[in-house]
Amino acid sequence: MLKHTNLVIKILIALILGCNFHKNKISSTSYLPHHTSITSLLKKLKLDGHLSFHNIHHASKDFGNRYSFLPAAVLYPKSVSDISNLISYIFQMGPTSPLTIAPRGHGHSLEGQAQAHQGVVINMVSLGKSQEMHFHVKENTNTPFVDVPAGELWINILHESLKHGFAPKSWTDYLHLTVGGTLSNAGISGQAFRHGPQINNVYQLQVVTGTGEVVTCTEKKNSDLFYGVLGGLGQFGIITRAHISLEPAPKMVKWMKVLYMDFTTFTKDQEQLISSNSSFDYVEGFVLINQTGLLNNWRSFFKNKNPAQASRFVSEGKIVFCLEIAKYYKQEDMGTIDQKIEKLLSKLNYIESTLFISEVSYVEFLDRVHVSELKLQEKGLWDVPHPWLNLLVPKSKIHKFADEVFGKILTDTSNGPILIYPVDKSRWNTKTSMVTPKENVFYLVAFLSSAMPASTGTDSLEYILSQNKKILEVCESANLGTKQYLPHYNTQEEWKNHFGSQWGDFVRRKLTYDPSAILTPGQRIFQKQFTFLWQFTI
């Protein structure tokens, strides 16, 4: 009881002092060693891999292409002990050391989250290359899984899993991401309504905490850390290995797109699909505003049963809603799959002439975004600023949100796609650190804009950021109860509001597993001076 009371008091102190971090910073710069001294200290580390102090500018960039913080060094680990030794070393340097650590996969963060200004960035892909996957998929295995290094890419896991006839259950729309990166956030896409996000499909983790301790954790063993790091934004430990749940893999996919002009009908059909146990395997949606030649663009890849009627469909100057659905199947289902799909489609109320169907392999479907990436890279349009905004909107407020945003704040979607689709949280494990709206059913609404660096028009970074600000202001003023996915905030007060009732647990876990606030400073949740809270012993 006494220990519990002391812990509660420590948390309260953390909460009180946390509000003053930005006002009353404890300056330690006068006690810090010179940069060259830090370099000398780091060089003393015994590693299986190596530390690089040169050619490290790539570690100061990310997909968002808006923030750039140069580290002091980049670690290329060949073992988990490399990561553990580095963190232990910096932790033992004490609170006067400025060094922080950020794990970096393929650098697909948006706001500099995987950067560490004058700290050490850990190249997690290096760890992935030095370790192997191990499959546990024998016939007598009730829960097949793959044991993978956290620096491994999901696309590689897909290819290797298929050799065994299996595949992970839950995906992101883009597969060239690392396991550790997506598990530190959530990992959501069109399969989440059925299987939950990727963080709900993990059996075991190996984690290196902010003190350098290597911990194996599951739902029953070290469960507090297990749930904490899943969706924990890298604040409590660096995931180094994971056991990912598998299921028998399909061979082929029937991939479909249909259109709606009415938002109520569109959302009603989406919600009906995700509530059924015998529905499609993938459900997503898009908002298309003032798009020219929409259906003509689809014809190069999708087939339409009524091309004459479809050719009369006009999307210019209108707000159109696209439902994207897919049904997976195996070779033995070839004779019945069309009838199953026809039955499922008969329950929907889309514009009949706008049904477009494509038949592709499972790999082609899951890796579909990579094809677009390669095209954009050829045109020099991939490495541009990406001021993305990802929101989770409660079902009860999605119509209010749509009324205020689509057609008012946003008058076209030429700068990038807008995703919109519902998920059902009642099927999720809600013990993780991921923050969601209070309602069980909510919509992911993702504004995936690309900005042109030299532009001063509607495709400029400034203009898109102003639109994002207006959208967030609408959410706040209308009290819509939204939450950010892949969140980014500038003050700890904003982070407290984001986590809400989960903030106390978040602070407690930080104090427990990363007491010196060494890990992932790019999230801007805690500062290194956070460690001084431990000086209060009650």
Domains of the chain: 128-248 (3.30.465.10), 251-383 (3.40.462.10), 385-488 (3.40.462.10)
108 is catalytic: yes
pLDDT at 40: 76
pLDDT at 331: 86
224 is catalytic: no
Question: Do 513 and 236 form a contact (C-beta atoms < 8 A)?
Answer: yes
- Smallest CA-to-CA distance from 466 within 479, 447, 491 is with 447
pLDDT at 241: 98
The CA distance from 13 to 23, in Å, is 16
β-bridge pairing 319-329 and 145-149: unpaired
Long-range contacts of 378-383, Cβ-Cβ distance < 8 Å, separation of 24 or more: 381/450, 383/65
Q: Which of 62, 108, 243, 424 is catalytic?
A: 108
pLDDT at 5: 40
β-bridge pairing 441-447 and 418-424: antiparallel
- Smallest CA-to-CA distance from 534 within 7, 102, 1 is with 7
Neighbours of 57 (CB within 10 A): 11
pLDDT at 2: 37
Q: CB-based burial of residue 293 (10 Å sphere; 0-12 exposed, 13-18 middle, 19+ buried)?
A: exposed
pLDDT at 372: 87
pLDDT at 200: 97
The CA distance from 19 to 127, in Å, is 37
Q: Which of 111, 269, 284, 367 is catalytic?
A: 284
Q: How far apart, in Å, are the Cα atoms of 26 and each of 22, 361, 419?
A: 10, 57, 43
SS (H, E, C) 148-216: EECCCEHHHHHHHHHCCCEEECCCCCCCCCEHHHHHCCCCCCCCHHHHCCHHHCEEEEEEEECCCCEEE
Q: Which of 111, 152, 173, 367 is catalytic?
A: 173
Give me the residues of the chain with pLDDT under 50, please.
1-34, 530-538
Hey, which bits of 448-515 come out as E strands?
483-484
Tokens 């999708």, located at residue:
302
At 389, the amino acid letter reads: L
- Smallest CA-to-CA distance from 21 within 503, 510, 532, 499 is with 532
The runs of H, that is alpha helices, within 276-406 are: 294-298, 307-310, 337-345, 362-366, 368-378, 398-405
173 is catalytic: yes
